[in-house]
Structure 1
Amino acid sequence: MEKFMLIFRNVMEVESMYENFSPEDMQAELQKWNTWIGGIAAQGKLIATDALLPTGKIVKGLNHVVTDGPYTEAKEIVSGYLLLTAESIEEAIELSKGCPMYEYESIVEVRPIQNFEES
C-alpha cells in the first residue's frame, strides 16, 4: 500500500460561502463530509484528516520574513487535507471522487507521499 495526501483547494468565494450557511445547511454539509470520510475509514484506508482555519502566516526566504496569509496573495486556498492508503494513484483518485468539494467546482489535489525509509 502507498500513502497519498488529498489536498483540498477552494477559491475564496467558496470559503466565504460557508460563512453564510444556516446551521441546518452547515450540518448537512458536515454530514456529506462525514459520510465520504467514513466510507474511506470503513475500508481501512484513512490515516488522518483535518480542516485548516482560514488564518495563518507565511514565512519567506532566507531572512524569514513573516506576513499575514496566505489569503492576501492567493486566489485559492488550501482548506484541508486527508491522508490515506491506496494500492495506486488511480485508486486514490477514485477515492477522492466522493469528496463534497466537487459540488462547488473546487479542486482536490492527489499527491503520493514519498517514503524516505524505502529510498
Structure 2
Amino acid sequence: MKEFLLIIRGGDDESGHRSPEEMQKHMQHWQRWMSGLAEEGKFVGGQPLKSEGKTIVEGGSRVIDRPLAEGKELVGGYLLIHADSLEDATNISKDCPGFEYNCSVEVREISPM
C-alpha cells in the first residue's frame, strides 16, 4: 500500500456557530471514522493543527507570522493514511467528517524517497 496525506482545510468558521452538544457529536463522528480506518489498517496518524504558525523565508533570514490565509483556506489538520491508489485515497476522503463544516480535503500521495 502507498501512503497519502489528507490535508484538511477550512471548517473553523462553521464550528463557531455550533452548540457544545453538536460539537461533541461531530467529534464522535471523527473518532468513529478514524477508528474504522485504523481497524482496516489504513490509518497511520493525524492531528488537528493550531491556527498560530510561522513561515521561514529568504534562506532562513526572515520569519513571517502565519497563517495569513482565509478561514476556508486555513489548514486545520491532516491525516496520513494507507491506500492502494490515489483513487482509493480519494474515495476514503469522501467520508471525512469535516465536510459537515464545509471543509475541503486535498489528497496527496507521499513520494517514496
Q: Which structure 2 residue ranges, 5 or more long, are not aligned?
A: none
Deviation at 1:101, TM superposition (A): 1.7
Mapping of 1:79-118 within 5 angstroms? 79-116=76-113
* CA gap 1:86/1:67 in 2 versus in 1, 3 angstroms: same
Question: 2:68 matched to 1:68?
Answer: no
TM-score (structure 1 length as normaliser): 0.84
Which residue, 24, 27, 46 being the options, matches 1:27?
24
1:58 counterpart = 2:52: no
Q: Which moved more, 1:14-23 or 1:46-55?
A: 14-23
Amino acid at match of 2:23: M
Tell me by how many angstroms 1:35 deviates: 1.3
CA contact (8 A) 2:14 2:102 kept: no
| Offset, 1:39 | 1.3
C-alpha distance in 1 between matches for 2:102 and 2:17: 18
In structure 2, the partner of 1:44 is 41
Question: What is the Cα deviation at residue 15 of structure 1?
Answer: 1.1
Deviation at 1:63, TM superposition (A): 4.6
AA of the residue aligned to 1:58: T
Could you list the per-position Cα deviations for residues 41-82 of structure 1 after superposition, in whole angstroms to 9, with x for gaps in the alignment? 110111001000111112122253112211xx3121100000
TM-score, with structure 2 as normaliser = 0.88
Letter in 2 for 1:9: R
Unmatched tracts of structure 1, length 5 or more: none
Q: Percent identity?
A: 41
Please report the RMSD computed on the Cα atoms of aligned residues, expressed in angstroms.
1.5
